[in-house]
Amino acid sequence: MIHKRIIRGLIRKEFIQIFRDPKMIAAILFVPIMQLTLFGLALTSEVKNIEMLIVSKPSAIAREVQTRAVASGWFKQVHHVDGANVLDPTSLLTTYKAEAVLVAPSEGFEYALERQNKPIQLLINATNAQRAQQVNAYVSQILARVAANHGYQLSGPMRLTLDTRILFNPQMSTTSFMVPALLVMTSFIILMIVGSMAITKEKEMGTMEKLISSPASTADILLGKALPYFFIGIGVVTLMLCVGVFGFGISYRGTIWQFALNGIALAACALSMATLISTIANTQQQAMMGGVLILLPAILLSGVFFPVANIPAEFRWLCYCNPLMYACTNFRNIILKGGDYPFFWQYFSILLGMAIVLSASAYKNFKQKLN
Amino acid sequence: MNILYKHIMAIASKEAKHIKRDIFTLSVALVLPMVFVVFFGFIINLDYHHIPLLVRDNDQSHTSRELLMQASAAGYFDIIAVHTPLEADRELLGNRMRGLLIIPHGFHKTFTNGDIAHAQLLIDGTDNTMAALATTYMQGILQATQESILSSYESPSAAIRTRYLFNPELNSRWFIVPALSTIIIGFLAIILTALTVAREWENGSMELLLSTPLRPVEIVVGKLLPYFALAFFDVLLVFALALLVFHIPFHGNFVLYLTACLFYIMGALALGLLISVITRQQQSAIQFGFAIGLLPSFMFSGFIFPIENMPTFFQYLTMLFPQRWFLQISRALFLSGASLIDLIIPFIALFLFMIGMITLAVQKFKTDVEP
């Protein structure tokens, strides 16, 4: 049974409670926007500031590699160490004086390139395995180019070549990739937390009994509690889209109603999950721990940081149970690719289905506890 | 008036009773880091394999077949033939396929004539990391094809030999597990204490505590101690797992590692406490705890996005996050066996962070108490 008047009253009460505390407003509105802005500005996947040292007797090639490396913008000069008289190049890495060391044999680069029986060595600090591979590619590329300038061919001429065209994100910008994901994650986190706190707080304070003994039905209480945060959630998501599009200049290719529908499904999913947690937890502390239990895996398995296709097949179903995965992929599909309809409807309906199942079980759980 | 050991222990044992009473929170705090590190350490991976790729072979020749064979043998791509451009468009827009390789008519002929033959690769750039890797993989495949057809290895770059120090096989687990434990334990530490003071204010027991002869320092330190024991136990457990389950080498000094853990955990716990003292309300304490602890520790710790790649401003900003320093120490101690002198800056930073957080919490507490 749903009473419109009661729900309206509950919503008003909840909004008064939220707006009474300026810290809450800051947490709900300011934090997501700030996070999006900071992360959007900070994150790039382009490798920069590689501290590389060339260990070789002074030669034209050594100088040219150095100049080219610095000019490329990927590398940073290593000061205080003279490459011409380093005895143990490995120690430069173990003492963290350099990230990569290019070591010519004692006869110099020219000899190595001519004879090929004494190779040039490239030592890379691989504590970050990903970055090490990129560093390797950059250094090899620069060295090959310098060698070619001096008339040495490092590899045979390539006669099969590749013309690459990058679709949908031609600058390959990390920001374009991350903004849809950040939008989903920050709003999901906020809604999960505030939503689950809202009900457990009443339980902890003992005001829940008063609410229950009032003529309000279970549906009234749950809706009255969830709806204010639902509206806030929609507002936050919209605000973040504006930051992404107007602030970061991401080209929005989909339609607005697709974005709106997906945003509604996301907010509904987050809040019904929050409500479910709060029907189980008795204190805010427990609700928070429940949130941790769900949010950490949801972020790790969202396919944003680690590709879904590479998770072992027997655990991949976990990704397919993860609302964040659907929301992130669908928002990216809408914003960057124009929101292909069959794909959009598929992911949207799964997300909505999850929200319905979650809210139904929250409702049932809440009712059972009452009786 | 000096700090009384007895007072601190009294507060600590009171807080320990709170923890023991809430079995759910206690078990999550004890079990979660262990389970998450093992589980996610096994299943998440930064490599991209099996990228679904469409192929349009307009040449149907020896060379093109060899190219496709090389491509499917490499394991990076799952290759599916496509016949019409319309179909290719639909698959790319519908997120079922990541790219399209077009082998033009006359590919074989150009190549056997000794000219340069071009293949075209269209790749979905929404995931920029994937796009960059796929291009590199495809270039390698073309090179392999050329070499296998000409079967005369025209001296592929024997001139340069790369050595990856500290992680010679570029094992991504060695890279992920220390980072994962840093993030999970740090986040847990922040939110464990985020509620302690806020809860006392909400329950009204804070007034009682303040009317006792306890000094703010004693209350703050006493509240931190039991949580410290809890988190330190987690650290030891995760450390043992990293060695025994994942066989990650530990080359560093164990005492040094424990010292870093002490600074890191104490700092994170004190940060949580500071949040609690400032907000005085559980709901917003959790909000800020999650806002500061969850996403920033993924983004600003150097786990997925190396700090060196960020714009200068953010390289300084990330210095405020203890996760950055601890991850640096943890990676260095595990993999490279660095000494204290090499890691002096991160150690000082962690120490300052810990002292700063405790001082701030005590100061803020004092101003709350003395009107």
CB contact under 8 A, A299 and B294: yes
Residue B327: band (very low, low, confident or very high) from pLDDT cuts 50, 70, 90: very high
Domain boundary among B116, B150, B184: B150
pLDDT in tens, A165-180: 888 888 788 888 888 9
Please judge whether B125 and A167 are an interchain contact, meaning their C-beta atoms are less than 8 angstroms apart: yes
Q: Which of A114, A149, A184 is the last residue of a domain?
A: A149
B258/chain A closest Cα distance in angstroms: 20
Q: How far is the C-alpha of A204 from the C-alpha of A283, rounded, in Å?
A: 6
Do the Cβ atoms of A235 and A261 come closer than 8 Å? no
Is A260 inside a domain boundary? yes
Interface residue B45 vs chain A (CB under 8 A) = yes
A102-116, A123-137, B47-61, B65-79, range with the lowest pLDDT: A102-116
The ipTM (two decimal places) reads: 0.85
Measured in angstroms, the CA of B350 and the nearest CA of chain A are apart by 18
pTM of the model: 0.87
Residues B36 and B63 occupy one common structural domain: no
How many angstroms away from the CA of B224 is the closest CA of chain A? 17
Give domain status of residue A164, yes or no: no
Whether residue A223 is found in the same domain as residue A295 = yes
More confident residue, B167 or A272: A272
pLDDT at B261 over 90: yes
b/e for A157-191, b at 16 or more Cβ within 10 A? eebbebebebbbbeebbbbbbbbbbbbbbbbbbbb
Strand order through the sheet with B77-81 = A160-167, B117-124, B99-103, B51-57, B77-81
Neighbours of A293 (CB within 10 A): 16
A269 and A317, same domain (yes or no): yes
Q: Which residues of B269-279 are buried (b: 16+ CB within 10 A; e: fewer)?
A: bbbbbbbbbbb
**What total number of domains does chain B contain?**
2
pLDDT tens readout for residues B224-246? 999 999 999 999 999 999 999 99
Would you say B51 and A318 are in contact if contact means Cβ atoms under 8 Å apart?
A: no
The residues in A 218-277 lying below 8 A from B, measured between CB atoms, are none
Q: Mind telling me how many Å the CA of A138 is from chain B's nearest CA?
A: 12
Are B238 and B303 within one domain? Answer: yes
Are A295 and B294 a contacting pair at CB < 8 A? yes
| Whether residue B24 has pLDDT greater than 80 | yes
Query: How confident is the model at residue A116, as a pLDDT?
Result: 66
Residues B101, B12, single domain; the answer is: no
The strand ranges marked E within chain B are 51-57, 77-81, 99-103, 117-124, 160-165
Burial class (CB in 10 A: 0-12, 13-18, 19+), A21: middle
Of A80, A115, A149, the last residue of a domain is A149
- The per-residue pLDDT for A371 is 62
Determine the residue of chain B that is closest to A341 in CA distance.
Answer: B94
pLDDT of residue A148: 82
Over residues B91-111, the mean pLDDT reads 87
Amino acid (1-letter code) at residue B141: I
Q: Which residues of A touch B92 (CB under 8 A)?
A: 167
Q: Report residue A8 as tokens.
A: 């309206």
Q: Do A90 and B114 touch (CB under 8 A)?
A: no
Nearest chain A CA: its distance from B2 CA (Å): 34
Residue A164 DSSP class: E
Query: Is residue B23 a part of any domain in this protein?
Result: yes
Residue A142 belongs to domain with CATH number: 3.40.190
Q: Which of A194-198, A299-303, B149-153, B255-259 has the lowest average pLDDT?
A: B149-153
Cβ of residue B304 closer than 8 Å to a chain A Cβ: yes
Last residue within a domain, chosen from B150, B184, B208: B150
Rounded alpha-carbon distances, angstroms, from residue B303 to A172, A188, B31, B297, B300: 21, 22, 23, 8, 8
Q: How far apart are CA B223 and CA A305, in angstroms?
A: 36
The alpha carbon dihedral of B329, B334, B336, B337 has a sign of positive
Question: For B7-35, what is the mean pLDDT?
Answer: 88
Q: Do A162 and B138 touch (CB under 8 A)?
A: yes
Please state, in angstroms and rounded to a whole number, the distance separating the CA atoms of residues B231 and B185: 7
Question: By residue range, what is the domain housing residue B185?
Answer: 7-44+169-369
**Sites in chain A below the pLDDT cut of 50:** none
Give me the residues paired with residue A76 across strands. A51
B164 touches chain A (CB under 8 A): yes
Reported confidence tier of residue B312, pLDDT bands at 50, 70, 90:
confident
Interface A-B, measured as beta-carbon pairs within 8 A, has a size of: 347
Per-residue pLDDT at B156 exceeds 70: no
Residue B161 phi, psi dihedral angles, 5° rounding: -125, 125
Domain count, chain A: 2
The CA distance from B124 to B100, in Å, is: 9
- Pick B49's closest partner by Cβ from A126, A283, A310: A310
Identify the pLDDT of residue A156: 63
Is the pLDDT assigned to residue B371 strictly greater than 60?
A: no
Instruction: Tell whether A158 is covered by a domain.
Output: no
CA distances from A54 to A63, A82, A85, A134, A151 (A): 9, 9, 10, 18, 21
* Residue A328 in domain: yes
| Domain range enclosing A126 | 50-149
B-chain residues near A291 (CB < 8 A):
286, 290
Regarding whether A106 and A9 lie in a shared domain, the answer is no
Please check whether residues A32 and A108 belong to one and the same domain.
no
Q: Do B166 and A130 touch (CB under 8 A)?
A: no
